[in-house]
Amino acid sequence: MNNFALIPLLIATWQTIYTVFISSFFSIFFGLILGVLLFTGNKQIKRLLGLIANITRSVPFIILLISIIPLTRLIVGTSIGVNAAIVPLTIAAIPFFARIVESAIAEVPQNLIET
């Protein structure tokens, strides 16, 4: 294998690791907050956040990616590239992680939560 062929592979591997790490960090951070709010909020907040989470989860990723291009440009400054891919990945993953957090908290016994 040619060394010149290995360099683009290493760059692409690093970009993938970077994108996954950053989007995972923000997804876990905001998904944890949303999941706790889905569990502990009052009925109106639960209903509204649950509706938003369900709608976001049901939208195919490519449609979400294209529909939030203006938001991506606002946050990152561009709509293409490694940094621009982080925004839709994070937005798509937040409701999935929030539902995992909500169901995990629901499995904890009520008296343990009060303690």
- pTM (two decimals): 0.86
Average pLDDT value for residue range 63-85: 93
8 Å CB contact between 68 and 91 = yes
DSSP for 11-30 reads HHHHHHHHHHHHHHHHHHHH
Give tens-digit pLDDT for 22-73: 999 999 999 999 999 999 888 999 999 999 999 989 999 999 989 999 999 9
Q: 10 Å Cβ neighbour count for 45?
A: 12
CA dihedral (95, 101, 102, 104) in degrees, to 10, reads 150
Q: Which two tokens stand for residue 59?
A: 């939208």
User: What pLDDT does residue 14 have?
Assistant: 96
